[in-house]
Amino acid sequence: MEYVIDTSTHKVIIFTKESCSYCTKAKNLLDSKKVDYKEIDIEGKEDLKRALVLKTNGSTTVPQIFIKGEYIGGCDSLYALDAKGQLDEKLGLEEKLQ
């Protein structure tokens, strides 16, 4: 089976593995911002892993995070956006505060 990954179906999609501490850390940040996200566990899904590598320009680690269809990167990239004050804007949270 060949997978086609459509990252436009949810505002935030995070590809994870169950035993991944970086995945947990990324989900904790999203949870702290009360963001709904679609989590997709890629453990044991080789076709999905291959499709994800193509979608992320060769990245083989998890988590892999997409916001509004835009590839963000992994946990470190998510936290870097937050540290720069750009994550809330990408998530559309600033509009909710006004």
pLDDT at 95: 59
- Give the whole-angstrom CA distance, residue 11 versus residue 68: 5
pLDDT confidence tier of residue 2, bands split at 50, 70 and 90? low
DSSP string over 16-84: E-TT-HHHHHHHHHHHHTT---EEEE-TT-HHHHHHHHHHTTT--SS-EEEETTEEEESHHHHHHHHHT
Q: Tell me: the pLDDT tens digits for 21-78? A: 999 999 999 999 999 999 999 999 999 999 999 999 899 999 999 999 999 999 999 9
**What's this model's pTM, rounded to 2 decimal places?**
0.89
Architecture of the structural domain at 12-93 = 3-Layer(aba) Sandwich (3.40)
Q: Tell me: the pLDDT tens digits for 83-94? A: 999 999 999 987
- Give the whole-angstrom CA distance, residue 64 versus residue 79: 13
The residues with which 15 forms a beta bridge, in sequence order, are 40, 64
